[in-house]
Amino acid sequence: KGTIVIQLTINGAEHRLDIDVRTTLLDALRNHLELTGTKKGCDHGQCGACTVLVNGRRVNSCLTLAVMHEGDEITTIEGLGAPGNLHPMQESFLHHDGFQCGYCTPGQIVSAVGMLDEVKDGWPSHVSNGVENAPDLTDAEISERMSGNLCRCSCYPNIVDAIRHVHS
Ligand code: FES
């Protein structure tokens, strides 16, 4: 029948799904789990609106199938913070107006959180430059590391500011 029962760990909670084997992780989140904070922009890996963390690393959820992620720790924007208890990156985007229409914002924020973890871990090694955290990165380096996330409103300077000043 083309469907399969899988178990996904999302934001620390276990979810059992009976889905078509071809369902992307993005569609599983949005259409089967009502986790609609993760956005669908292009649906083919070009905009970054669908960014989630898989075991702490950034992934375009439109480019991967849900069935491939049993046993992985998946984090969506809903797992980072909630109204009244925002993640520091969410606070910083608010403080620095890191958005206009807001459609790309969940992906930008998830990506920024993942990006700073990559920097801390020195990953990938060929571009780590030995930097430890966001204030050590130049604006150009932040932009380069965030280049997988497009903003049609072109709020890039504010997005870079938000990331640079996340803990200040
Ligand atoms: Fe996945 Fe655009 S919706 S990259």
* Domain ranges, residue 35: 3-79
Answer yes or no: do 30 and 92 share one domain: no
114 and 149 share one domain? yes
- Ligand 1 pocket check for 40: Cβ under 6 Å: yes
Assess contact for 35 and 78: CB atoms under 8 A.
Answer: yes
Asked if 44 and 62 touch (Cβ cutoff 8 Å), the reply is yes
Distance 111 CA to ligand 1 centre (A): 12
Q: Are residues 74 and 93 in the same domain?
A: no
Answer yes or no: do 37 and 96 share one domain.
no
DSSP assignment of 45-94 equals SSS-TTEEEETTEEEEGGGSBGGGGTT-EEE-HHHH-BTTB--HHHHHHH
Q: Is the ipTM of this complex over 0.90?
A: yes
Tell how far the Cα of 110 is from the centroid of ligand 1, in angstroms.
Answer: 13
Point out the ligand 1 atom lying closest to the alpha carbon of residue 51: 1
pTM for the complete prediction?
A: 0.93
Mark whether 106 and 42 lie in a shared domain.
no
Residue 156, domain CATH: 1.10.150.120
Tens of pLDDT, residues 1-57: 689 999 999 999 999 999 999 999 999 999 999 999 999 999 999 999 999 999 999
* Residue 34 sits in the same domain as residue 69: yes
Is residue 45 lining ligand 1, measured as CB closer than 6 Å? yes
**Based on the structure, what is the number of domains in the chain?**
2
